[in-house]
Structure 1
């Protein structure tokens, strides 16, 4: 019986749970990153009035940030149903919303065709993407953690985290192939219709994701909480009233992770392909060349996410994150050395990207265990989602915009200082955070009693 339960959760093979949590987040992040890439290379040219290229880029990045404003709303909306109805149904709904919004982006008319309506529709679709991803991450994280073996939660929870690098590789890989085949000349095939292909391809990926997720059952931890009558009518009210401290800590813990990733990806791409001095303040790389460097660096993100899961299970969440966050602070001091416009090299840029992505994997890997572990079962979807996505506003939403402004007006070294300050705030939050490695997820919130049947039996 014990052997069966090791591989079978509620009649569902563990391999299917892993696939559902990872494939779903891969699709969601693919959709999200496809927009991020287009926001730098495509949308400023096609969805905004012609004129100042920097103004168009900043306008595009502002729309890019709109999704992050929507993500906390998505975590509240989907968190409500995730804590009231269940994890499975909510995960299916979030995937559908993301897929529909992304496909519609691929079918939008441009500014030249419909004027101001084009960026307006683009903003609506981007907002919808944010709502969807606001509900996606928490559900995938809970699917992994609430079916995990004791003392192996961080390892189980790192599988949905792999959706971030896999989605990035897939989205940017598709863009790279299209650019290599179609070119980027104004009026050419890529800017005429090729940029739409990555968004339209999302429909195929969504069908695959839905097939996997519809074959799941509810997590045993949530099912037992329902049996005990622990569901609350208003999860948002309950989590704010009873877990406000965890919300603040969880949000700040995630701040450095978000700021780091979107500085090293979205801002770095815009800065890398920007005009070099004296005409500009960028590095002057060709779009294809810089994208290739980013794809190499993301492999290090994918490789270090599992390492972070192992470290967090072995040494604990706090020690692992404290060391990595100190590393991020130090990394911020290298920006002025590795990214000096007019005096940099391909090797130094690649080193910058690899170091950033390695640190990203080490800090991102444990988060899908850390944030759910901060909250009780009946508000876990809502609480972890709000913390994760509130950090997206403070970190990711504004990071490319602030970094672009700082680099243009004060130099690239100030972008590194901005990252270091964000990491210092995370360091303080991690310092006061309780260690959650041994916190039981399947506890009776009325009595504090831990269910004897918790998940999978004794640790091995």
Structure 2
């Protein structure tokens, strides 16, 4: 776009491509950064600092339970922010959700531990975690709508990948910061172990750093213009009084199908990020791989780079062949990948770990994650009309988080321990989730050719 064209767009209140990309990408990067900072701490720090000592497995499960509690709050956030987004507009809602997430994350960095205030420590942690989930419940759909409602008709899936890129970028920034802090505060016997300083106060720095990122995100989003699609809905008097009621009255089927369409994506992601971090860094005696924390996180970051690449690649693919067809193909691949868990991981018990094979496991998992996650930025919003698009897509996306993300780490730990350290049951769990997603996708319609403008004209009787 030329400078003159860009200036004209700004004067007319139309968002430029750069504004759309920045607003959808920066916000979700910050939101996912906040979420991953907690996820990393939940696996490595919180079991030791915020829960009673005595049973490592119980402490880890308790930490993951608080982590999963945020997923329960996400549908509530979806309803609240969805109502605001469909009634007042996308821009205002995105600013509020970002600010809410940032404040909750920042405060976590100041929480006293269990050794200081006892059971109040996990209680306050739970409250702030619920606040994080509530905020994230409104973030994703708003960012996806900013991207797709401002996109050319034949490039909606491509534009829809920009908010999706917030997931891999946020992961890399969050875990990279944890690594830097861990190396800056080395253990007396090894730089790859967690030092007393890291456990005492070093883990708090990533939570405080969130304030800087939120300030940047707020500056970007305040400068954003409302989407043209929503403006037309207002002009044509198509804004509804109760988006939630209309969503369930007229689009309940789409909510259910969208929920299960996301299921395999959520389970895959939280197995390859949260659960596998616990499995990979646990000692042989605790039925893990015994890979040092810093080494394993670096391995994950390498895998997440592929996640980001294939998230972008999936957009043009979905624009070309259709969202539904691409998602069906990759979901079959996810099911097969789940059944291959023992091939990648189980041989390691009783032997020296082979990090290169674990790295292959992570790369394959994250490639599949990118291909399935990328098209969702367009697929879910396209299932709903403009006047309930925020609410409908947000509810589907976030209810799925309860079934997938909230339960995945807890179920995976239980299955891993029940199988005596084997991962075959965890892999079957992923395959079952993929089968449920396939059923949903086969029952869904292709959304590639949905025309937002024609839809509004039709609804208005023009």
Report the equivalent of 1:433.
444
Q: Is the 8 A contact 1:283 1:342 kept in 2?
A: no
CA distance in 2, matches of 1:24, 1:397: 22
Equivalent residue, structure 2, for 1:412: 423
Distance 1:73 1:172 in 2: 28
Aligned to 2:190: none
1:442 aligns with 2:447: no
Equivalent of 2:321 in 315, 325, 344 = 315
RMSD: 1.8
1:175–1:195 Cα contact (<8 Å) kept: yes
Residue 312 of structure 1: how far off its partner (Å): 0.1
Matching of residue 401 in structure 1 with residue 410 in structure 2: yes
The CA distance in 1 between the partners of 2:223 and 2:166, in whole Å, is: 19
Q: Determine which of 286, 294, 315 is the counterpart of 1:288.
A: 294
From 127, 130, 147, give the equivalent of 2:130. Answer: 127
Unaligned runs of 5+ in 1: 452-460
Q: 1:324 to 1:194 in 2, by over 3 A?
A: same
> TM-score, normalised to structure 2's length?
0.94
| Structure 1 position 219 matched with structure 2 position 227 | yes
Say if 2:256 is the partner of 1:248. Answer: yes
- Residue aligning to 1:345: 354
Runs ≥4 residues deviating over 6 A: none
SS at 1:148 equivalent: coil
Deviation at 1:186, TM superposition (A): 6.9
CA distance in 1, matches of 2:331, 2:115: 45
The answer as to 2:34 corresponding to 1:28 is: no
Q: Is the 8 A contact 1:443 1:450 kept in 2?
A: no
Q: SS of the residue aligned with 1:50?
A: coil
Q: Indicate how the Cα distance of structure 1 residues 409 and 450 shifts in structure 2: closer, same or farther if over 3 A, else same.
A: farther
Tell me what 2:363 maps to: 354
Please give the per-residue CA displacement for 1:176-203, whole angstroms capped at 9, x wherever unaligned. Answer: 1111121356771100110000000000
CA distance in 2, matches of 1:71, 1:183: 37
| Mapped contact 2:168–2:307 kept (Cα < 8 A) | yes
The answer on whether the counterparts of 2:6 and 2:16 sit within 8 Å (CA) in structure 1 is no
Structure 2 gap segments, 5+ residues each: 188-192
Q: Work out the CA distance in 2 between the residues paired with 1:346 and 1:335.
A: 15
User: TM-score normalized by structure 1?
Assistant: 0.95
Q: Is the Cα contact below 8 Å between 1:225 and 1:444 reproduced in 2? A: no
- 1:457 aligned partner: none
Bigger fraction of residues in helix: 2
- 134, 140, 143: which one pairs with 1:140? 143
**Does the alignment pair 1:157 with 2:160?**
yes
Aligned to 1:386: 395
| In structure 2, C-alpha distance between the alignment counterparts of 1:7 and 1:74, rounded to whole Å | 36
Distance 2:266 2:407 in 1: 10
* C-alpha contact (below 8 Å) 1:158/1:368 kept by paired residues: yes
Deviations 1:146-181 (A, max 9, x none): 000011000011011000000000000000111112
Q: What count of residue pairs does the alignment treat as equivalent?
A: 449
Taking the aligned partners of 1:367 and 1:252, their CA distance within structure 2 comes to: 12
Whether 1:172 and 2:178 are equivalent positions in the alignment is: no
Counterpart Cα distance in 1 of 2:239 and 2:108: 37
Aligned 8 A contact 1:27 1:167 in 2: yes
Aligned position for 2:53: 50
The counterpart of 2:268, out of the listed 253, 260, 265, is: 260
Q: CA deviation at 1:8?
A: 3.5
Worse-superposed segment, 97-106 or 281-290:
281-290
Shift of 1:5: 8.2
CA-CA distance at 1:449 after TM superposition: 6.5
Note the alpha carbon deviations across 1:336-381, whole angstroms, 9 max, x for none.
1111133441111001100000000000000010000000100000
> Contact conserved, 2:238 with 2:460, CA < 8 A, in 1?
no
